[in-house]
C-alpha cells in the first residue's frame, strides 16, 4: 500500500507544481530529487504594511472652508447682527461679498446660462433639459415656450476646489482656531 500512496503523492506533486518534471524523472531513474534545487533560496521579500486610507473630506466643507479663508463668509453669516447699524452691516458685507465673488469665479468660472437681460422676452429650445430651464406661471402646450426671463441662471465651466491634505481630526474643520502668542 505504501507504493500506491507514494505514487499518488508524486502524481499530485508533479501536477500541482511542487516538484518539477525533471526532478520526478531523476527520482524514477534512481537519482536525487534535490539536484535542481538551489541551495539557499532567496528569502521572500517582506510585505509592505498597508497604508491607512487617506482621510476623506466632503467637497462642500472644502468649498465652505475656501470661502471662509478667502472672504470670511462664515464669520459674516453667523455673526449676530443686532448690535450693528445697517450701515455697518452693509460696509462689512460689501467686502465679504466681493471676496466671495472673486473666490467663486476662481473656483468655478461662473457665467450666465442665458445671455439676455432679465425681463427680456426669451424662448426655450424645442428640446430642452428641465434642469436648465425652470418654467413658472401658466405653462401649457408644447415647447418651445416664450416668456420673460426672470433669472438668467448660472453655468460653470470648471470646478477647481482646493486640494485638502489634513488629517482625520481636521476633516470637518471649516476654519482653524486662531491664537495669537
Q: What is the pLDDT of residues 36-74, one digit of tens each?
A: 555 555 666 677 777 767 678 999 999 999 999 999 999
Q: Is the pLDDT of residue 119 over 70?
A: yes
* Burial group, residue 14, by CB count within 10 angstroms (0-12, 13-18, 19+): middle
Contact 71, 101 (CB under 8 A): no
Q: What is the mean pLDDT of residues 120-149?
A: 95
Q: What is the mean pLDDT of residues 125-135?
A: 94
Q: Retrieve residue 157's grid coordinates.
A: 465651466
Q: Retrieve residue 135's grid coordinates.
A: 418654467
Higher pLDDT, 34 or 87: 87
Q: Retrieve residue 26's grid coordinates.
A: 531523476
Helix pair 21-28, 2-16: axis angle to 10 deg: 150
pLDDT at 56: 85
What is the percentage of the chain residues whose pLDDT exceeds 70? 74
pLDDT at 164: 87
Q: Can you tell me the distance from the alpha carbon of 97 to that of 104, in angstroms, rounded to the nearest whole number?
A: 10
- Whole-angstrom CA distances from 103 to 25, 78, 90, 154, 162 are 76, 19, 20, 15, 11
Q: What is the mean pLDDT of residues 148-156?
A: 97
pLDDT at 73: 96
pLDDT at 100: 97
What is the percentage of the chain residues whose pLDDT exceeds 90? 65
pLDDT at 134: 96
The number of beta carbons lying within 10 Å of the beta carbon of residue 19 is 19
* Burial group, residue 87, by CB count within 10 angstroms (0-12, 13-18, 19+): exposed
pLDDT at 37: 55
Higher pLDDT, 50 or 109: 109
Contact 3, 9 (CB under 8 A): no
Amino acid at each position: 500500500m505504501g507504493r500506491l500512496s507514494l505514487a499518488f503523492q508524486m502524481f499530485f506533486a508533479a501536477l500541482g507544481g511542487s516538484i518539477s518534471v525533471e526532478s520526478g524523472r531523476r527520482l524514477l531513474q534512481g537519482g536525487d530529487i534535490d539536484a535542481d534545487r538551489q541551495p539557499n533560496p532567496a528569502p521572500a521579500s517582506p510585505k509592505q504594511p498597508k497604508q491607512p486610507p487617506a482621510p476623506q473630506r466632503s467637497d462642500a466643507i472644502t468649498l465652505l472652508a475656501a470661502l471662509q479663508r478667502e472672504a470670511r463668509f462664515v464669520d459674516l453669516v453667523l455673526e449676530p447682527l443686532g448690535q450693528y447699524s445697517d450701515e455697518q452691516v452693509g460696509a462689512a458685507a460689501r467686502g465679504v461679498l466681493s471676496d466671495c465673488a472673486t473666490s467663486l469665479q476662481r473656483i468655478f468660472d461662473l457665467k450666465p446660462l442665458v445671455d439676455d437681460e432679465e425681463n427680456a422676452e426669451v424662448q426655450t429650445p424645442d428640446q430642452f433639459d428641465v434642469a436648465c430651464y425652470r418654467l413658472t406661471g401658466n405653462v401649457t402646450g408644447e415647447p418651445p415656450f416664450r416668456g420673460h426671463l426672470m433669472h438668467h441662471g448660472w453655468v460653470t465651466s470648471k470646478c477647481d476646489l482646493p486640494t485638502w491634505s489634513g488629517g482625520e481630526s481636521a476633516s470637518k474643520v471649516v476654519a482653524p482656531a486662531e491664537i495669537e502668542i
